[in-house]
Amino acid sequence: MAAHDAGIECLVKSDPCHDFAWCLEACIRDKHLESHQTTRLRHMLDMFPKSYHESVTDLAMIAGDVHVIHFLCSMTVKKLRDSGGTHLPRDMPSVVVMVRVLSFGCAAKDLVSKKVQPGEVLDSVFLNRFLPEFQTLMVEDCTRAEMMRNKKDLEEELDLSNLLSKPSDQMITFLKASRLAALLWYHCCLDMLPSKKRIGDLRGLARYVEVLPLLKDNIVCSGVWCHLIFHRLIHSNQYEAALADQAIYATLIDQLLLKNLLTDRCVKYQLFKLISQIGFIWGQPHCMTIMRDFDVEFFKSSNHPDMDYFIEEYNKLRERIIPKPIEGILEADLEQPSSSKPTPTVPPVAPMGSASPAPGIHYNMFAGSTPHHPI
């Protein structure tokens, strides 16, 4: 990229990955994939298998960048959903190109170690078996959303049970074995989260969430993907209803979060974020129970390098959610010096039969020489 900006054409032309990276960068910047960019990417993908293995490895590492994967997975899900089932995925050129790029990105490590060859990266079975069934679930989502949107105009109750098909055993096998299938399923789950543009469909969301623990490499429980799903959940406009749902809570919190706190050192901070920002929907007793069950002693055995920072953040959060004992507050109040406020002097009572009472000392509660004039 620096050579391109400097106008050094000889270096730019000698690097076969330059155009590939430049085209992807433009797509990510514009958040769109134009038809001419699709054609350009397809041409480069057709040429790379004929190149040296090192060039193919470089291409795979570029395609494996987390920003590239997130953009292409999101675009693939959007294309499949917007098609409405009118075209098969294999007949959609943009989808095929994006899936090919994603296949190289997911196989980057295997290509570097030469466990797979470039021609073995994408299996036609994935295009012909997994994607059509995956698209069928999205068609059900769109149909269900349209029926829910028009529900007010209908007099009879809607039966949406036939539009909530469970993923087949074949699809579950793909999700367990293919990282690409797992990433597409994960991004479809992100797309189902409630937002300003999408009506909350908790039953449809639960269908995708329940399968998240089965995804290959347990991708939801580590790194940026763990952060992203909880970030999207917290900033959705119906997170209370989502986390109040028993099935969604059991999967996201119990199976994905709490069971993998020691797997990745970043996961424990997602728990802190949930308790700090939206823990009020569970109530203080439940949050306090979680804090006690997963305290500092629980994480000491993990030998995470950030334990000092973790202990500091844990204590801050604990002070926020655990109330100060009442006895301590009362004792603190009693220990305050009594001289902070002047005590009014009671005027002496005149003895019986005296001529006139002795003048008492007047206590003015308003400090200052000027008299107080109430408004």
Q: Which pLDDT tens digits describe the chain residue by residue (375 residues)?
A: 566 666 666 666 667 788 899 899 999 999 988 889 999 999 988 887 667 788 888 899 999 999 999 999 999 999 999 998 889 999 999 999 999 999 999 999 988 888 888 777 888 899 999 999 999 999 998 888 888 777 655 555 566 777 888 999 999 999 999 999 999 999 999 998 877 666 668 888 899 999 999 999 889 888 899 999 988 888 877 777 788 888 888 999 989 898 888 888 888 888 888 898 888 888 888 888 988 888 888 888 778 888 899 999 999 998 888 766 655 444 555 455 544 445 444 444 444 444 444 444 333 333 334 433 333
Is 0.75 surpassed by the pTM of this model?
yes
Please give the distance of CA 124 from its chain centroid, rounded to a whole number: 31
Give, in order, the Cα–Cα distances in Å from 355 to each of 347, 348, 349, 359, 361. Answer: 16, 14, 13, 12, 19
Question: What SS3 state is found at 208?
Answer: helix
CA distance 39 to 94: 9
CA distance 238 to 273: 17
Residue 128: CA atoms inside 13 Å, Cβ hemisphere, count? 4
Of 85, 89, 113, 114, the residue nearest 102 (C-alpha):
89
Structure token digits, residue 137: 């679930």
